Amino acid sequence: MSDVVLTVLAGSRSGVDLTANKATVVVVNNYFMPNDGNTRLHVKNATGSTCVVTIDTPGTVDSNAIANPTVSVATAKEFLIGPFPKSVYDDSNGRVKFNFDQTVDITAVRG
């Protein structure tokens, strides 16, 4: 298992090439995205099954863990997930952690 930190693309009115910093998920790895509160994760699912994306919420409320939300990305679909409020989703390094149950392509985009 490895930790993979994504490079974030800056959004632009002239467009963003979502393949420029694309990463292909290895299911056993943890994926981290630097977060400024306006960052989103693009997920492209070309597999034959729905992919479940789990988003880590490292914080607590009244000493209770916050449940980790999931997003189901159906076959042949592309989802843009986020933004992520920093107070809920950021780890101690200012990043959001994701896990995946299928091999998909992902890109982090700000703006």
Q: DSSP letters along 6-53, please?
A: PPEEEP-TT---TTTT-EE--TTSEEEEE--SSEEEEEE--SSSPEEE
- Fold classification of 3-110 is Hypothetical Protein Tm1070; Chain: A (2.60.290)
Distance CA 1, CA 61 (A): 29
Q: What is the mean pLDDT of residues 1-29?
A: 94
Averaged over 23-44, what is the pLDDT? 98
Residue 85 has pLDDT above 90, yes or no: yes
Verdict on whether the full-model pTM lies above 0.85: yes
**pLDDT above 90: residue 68:** yes
Please give the average per-residue pLDDT across 71-75, as a whole number. Answer: 98
Q: Is the pLDDT of residue 20 over 90?
A: no
Q: Please report which confidence band the pLDDT of residue 111 belongs to, taking 50, 70 and 90 as the band edges.
A: confident
* Domains of the chain by residue range: 3-110
In the predicted structure, residue 35 carries a pLDDT above the cut 90 = yes
Nearest to 40 by CA among 70, 72, 4, 11: 11
Residue 105 pLDDT > 90, yes or no?
yes
